[in-house]
Amino acid sequence: MNLADLNKIAIAMTEPGKGILAADESTGTIKKRFDAIGVESTEDSRRDYRELLFRSTEAMEDYISGVILYDETIWQKAKDGTPLVKLIEQAGSIPGIKVDEGTKPLPFCPGELVTAGLDKLPERLPKYYEQGARFAKWRAVIDIGQGIPTYTCIATNAHALARYAALCQVNQIVPIVEPEVLMDGDHDVDRCYEVTEFVLKETFQQLYYQRVKLDGMVLKPNMIVPGKKCKKRASVEEVAEKTVRLLKACVPAAVPGIAFLSGGQSDEEATAHLDAMNRIGNVPWRLTFSYGRALQAAPQKTWSGKSENVAAAQRAFSHRAKMNGLAALGEWKSDLEKKAA
Ligand code: 13P
């Protein structure tokens, strides 16, 4: 392992004014997204859609530091035969790969899940590296509800995240460590804070036990937000203040960068929250985005599977990427959104 090189990649993934595009929806998840816009999900339609994103020159060159791919995509070629990975590299962006294999029920913990995929990881990682991946992602899912999360669920998922991260680093791949506390449910913002605090503390403890090098990783956490069904909403300032306060209490300064997931927030909410956090500033890590839905909802809708909409969809993607790029610098303004609409 060359830690200096891992650190360089982690720093490049969180370059100021740029962030990560999470385009790693599994075949099942992308089908749901395509169903919503009336597009049949086939190998070709998935390829066409992702090619559209990776050929969005303004977004990719100016605002997207890296792209998380799904296994199918990392082996795919664009219509003209260029590997999709090459398109990403040509734009100056870094290819990455989702390596977890989704979630399974956790024994004796009704309603809770554990992320699978460790067994074959040592054999898969060198192949992804050879294919161009310089970072990876593993997502653990923690749900909040009546009597959950249990310590069993938090500890089991944190342990798997740490095992994955160590395996990535010995294979010269930067791990994105993603312990996602879901925003489904009716819990309030303080319950999200309390659970996320426990999850992050446990995750960093397990990373330490597995000897993971903190300067060669990127953290991908949820923001501190109320559950979707909670009637008491939180202001942008409250979300930003609580998220920054919690991260300061849990994330060592050796971690180069933190790239948030959007987790079901609207695109503008996700942008406004990131911007407000960067306005607070005075933190030891870069704070940026690693959004899936909050970057792709607009281009997906605009595209709707029609080739004549490709250019407009690319503009929609570039707009969202730019707004989030500005938010990563604390320079976004809501009237920039209105001008584009
Ligand atoms: P969302 O931004 O849509 O939550 O997706 C990010 C991600 O990669 C979740 O694992």
**Alpha carbons 148 and 157: distance in angstroms, whole number:** 14
What pLDDT shows up at residue 338? 77
**Alpha carbons 235 and 242: distance in angstroms, whole number:** 11
* Active centre residues (catalytic): 178, 220
Nearest atom (ligand 1) to Cα of 294: 2
In terms of phi and psi (left: phi > 0; alpha: psi -120 to 50; beta: otherwise), the region of 263 is left
Q: For the chain, list residues with pLDDT below 70.
A: 339-341
pTM of the predicted model as reported, rounded to 2 decimal places: 0.98
Distance 103 CA to ligand 1 centre (A): 15
What pLDDT shows up at residue 103? 98
Helices 27-36 and 293-303: angle between axes, nearest 10 degrees: 50
What pLDDT shows up at residue 266? 97
What pLDDT shows up at residue 297? 97
Beta carbons within 10 angstroms of residue 297's beta carbon:
19
What pLDDT shows up at residue 339? 66
- CA-based radius of gyration for the chain: 19
**Alpha carbons 59 and 299: distance in angstroms, whole number:** 12
Ligand 1 pocket, residue 139 CB under 6 Å: yes
Tokens (6 digits) for 8: 């360089």
The residue assigned the tokens 């979707």 is 228
Ligand 1 pocket, residue 273 CB under 6 Å: no
> Considering only CA atoms, which residue is closest to atom 10 of ligand 1?
139
Decide if 288 contacts 28 (C-beta within 8 A): no
Ligand 1 pocket, residue 292 CB under 6 Å: yes
What pLDDT shows up at residue 139? 98
pLDDT digits (tens, 9 = 90+) for 21-36: 999 999 999 999 999 9
Give the DSSP letter string of 43-77: HHHHHHHHHHHHT-HHHHHHTEEEEEE-HHHHT-B
How far apart, in Å, are the Cα atoms of 130 and each of 21, 96, 124, 135, 200? Answer: 21, 12, 10, 12, 32
Ligand 1 pocket, residue 22 CB under 6 Å: yes
